[in-house]
Chain A
Amino acid sequence: METVTARARSVLEALHPMPQNALTIRIPVIQSREADLRKTLAMVDQDPADNSLLPFSMFNRLHFARFLLLEGPDSPETYSTTLIFMANVDGPVSAFLETLVQTAADGLDQIFGTCKGYPARSKRTRATRLTCLRKYQLPSQAFYINTVGRTADQIRQEDELHDALQRFLSDLDPAGFRSACTLRDAVIEYVASNPELAWAQSARPQPTRLWRALENIRFAGLATLGVLIIAWGWPLLLAWVLALRIREDRDEEDTHRPALSRLNQLRASEDIAAHNPFAAVGYVKPGWFRRTTARALLATTQVALRHVFNRGDLAGIPWLGLDGVDTIHFARWTMIDNDRRLLFTSNYDGSLESYMVDFIDKVAWGLNLIFSNGVGYPRTRWLVHDGARKEQRFKDYLGNHQIENQVWYTPYPHLTAVNIANNAAIRDGLRGHLNERQAMAWLHRL
Chain B
Amino acid sequence: MAASDAIEFDDIQGLVVRGYGSLPAACYLLLQITDPRKALPWLRDLAGQITYANNRPDRQAINVAVTYHGLASLRIDQTILEGFSDEFRSGMTTPHKRRILGDDGDSAPEYWQWGGPATPQVHLLLLCYARDDHVLNALYNELQTGIASHGLTQIARLGTEPLPDFKEHFGFRDSIGQPYVAEFDRHDKRRPQPVPLGEILLGYRNGYDRYTQRPLVDASQDPDSQLATDPEGSVQHDLGLNGTYLVFRQLAQDVPGFWRTLKHQAEEADHESADAVRLAAKLVGRWPSGTALVQAPDQDDPTVSDKDEFQYHATDAEGLKCPLGAHIRRTHPRDSLAPEPGSKKSIAFSNRHRLLRRGRVYGKPFDDSLDPAIFLENLDREDAPVDRGLHFICLGANVGRQFEFVQHTWANNPNFNGLYRDPDPIIGNRHAHGLPQDRFTIQRRPARCQLQGLPSFVQTRGGGYFFLPSRRALAFLFSAPAAGRKPRKTPGDTS
Contact = CB atoms under 8 A, between A and B. Distances in A.
Given A162-B420, A353-B409, A413-B433, A183 B447 contact: yes
Interface string B84-100: 00100110001110011
A361 interface: yes
A264 B96 CA distance: 8
Interface residues of B, number: 45
A267 B86 CA distance: 12
Given A323-B339, A353-B405, A169 B86 contact: no
A166 B421 CA distance: 11
A274 B418 CA distance: 12
B221 interface: no
A361 to B, nearest CB: 6
A169 B415 contact: no
B452 A271 contact: no
Contacts of A362: 338-339
Interface in B426-475: 433-435, 443-450, 452
A169 B447 contact: yes
B306 interface: no
Contacts of A183: 446-447
A164 interface: no
A260 B408 contact: no
A418 B345 CA distance: 21
A349 interface: yes
Nearest to B434: A413
Interface string A404-446: 0000000001111011001000000000000000011001101
A169 B408 contact: no
Interface centre among A273, A361, A422 (most CB of B within 10 A): A361
Nearest to B449: A174
A248 interface: no
Contacts of B210: 389-392
Interface in B400-429: 400-401, 404-405, 408-409, 413-415, 418, 420-421
B349 interface: yes
Contacts of B452: 170
B96 A323 contact: no
A170 B449 CA distance: 7
Interface in B223-276: none
Contacts of A354: 405, 408-409
B404 A353 contact: yes
B208 interface: yes
A353 to B, nearest CB: 5
B212 interface: yes
A334 interface: no
B415 A174 contact: no
Contact of B446 (A177, A351, A360): A177
A320 interface: no
Nearest to A416: B415
Contacts of B54: none
Contacts of B421: 414
A240 B339 CA distance: 33
B408 A353 contact: yes
Contacts of A353: 400-401, 404-405, 408-409
B5 to A, nearest CB: 28
Nearest to B450: A170
Contact of B408 (A264, A271, A418): A271
B409 A350 contact: yes
A180 B433 contact: no
A391 B409 contact: no
A230 interface: no
A216 interface: no
A243 interface: no
Contacts of A166: 420, 450
A285 B120 CA distance: 49
A124 interface: no
B422 to A, nearest CB: 11
A179 to B, nearest CB: 7
B405 A357 contact: yes
B98 to A, nearest CB: 10
Contacts of A391: 206, 208, 210, 212, 401
Nearest to A257: B82
A251 to B, nearest CB: 19
A444 B443 contact: yes
B213 interface: yes
B338 A323 contact: yes
B245 to A, nearest CB: 15
B400 A174 contact: no
Contacts of B433: 272-274, 413-414
Nearest to B408: A351
B165 interface: no
A323 B340 contact: yes
A263 interface: yes
Contacts of B418: 418-419, 422
Contact of B86 (A260, A270, A273): A260
Contacts of B35: none
B318 interface: yes
A440 B413 CA distance: 26
B96 A267 contact: yes
Contact of A443 (B404, B409, B446): B446
Nearest to A326: B338
Given A273-B433, A351-B408, A169 B448 contact: yes
A392 to B, nearest CB: 5
Interface string A140-169: 000000000000000000000010001001
A134 to B, nearest CB: 35
Nearest to B209: A389
B85 to A, nearest CB: 9
A323 B418 CA distance: 18
Nearest to A349: B415
B413 A350 contact: yes
A389 B210 CA distance: 9
A14 interface: no
Interface in A255-292: 257, 260, 263-264, 267-268, 270-274
A260 B400 CA distance: 14
A347 to B, nearest CB: 14
A179 B447 CA distance: 10
B189 to A, nearest CB: 27
Nearest to B213: A392
The 4 closest A-B pairs by CB, nearest first: A323-B339, A267-B96, A174-B447, A180-B446
Interface of B: 82, 86, 89-90, 94-96, 99-100, 206, 208, 210, 212-213, 318, 338-340, 345, 349, 352, 400-401, 404-405, 408-409, 413-415, 418, 420-421, 433-435, 443-450, 452
26 contacts: A169-B447, A169-B448, A174-B446, A174-B447, A263-B86, A268-B96, A272-B433, A272-B434, A323-B339, A323-B345, A350-B413, A351-B409, A353-B408, A354-B409, A357-B352, A357-B405, A360-B208, A361-B352, A389-B208, A413-B433, A414-B415, A415-B415, A416-B415, A418-B415, A419-B420, A443-B445
Given A169-B450, A353-B404, 18 more contacts: A170-B450, A174-B446, A174-B447, A267-B94, A271-B100, A274-B414, A350-B409, A351-B409, A353-B401, A354-B405, A391-B210, A413-B434, A414-B414, A414-B415, A414-B421, A416-B415, A419-B415, A443-B446
Interface of A: 162, 166, 169-170, 174, 177, 179-180, 183, 257, 260, 263-264, 267-268, 270-274, 323, 326, 349-351, 353-354, 357, 360-362, 389-392, 413-416, 418-419, 422, 439-440, 443-444, 446
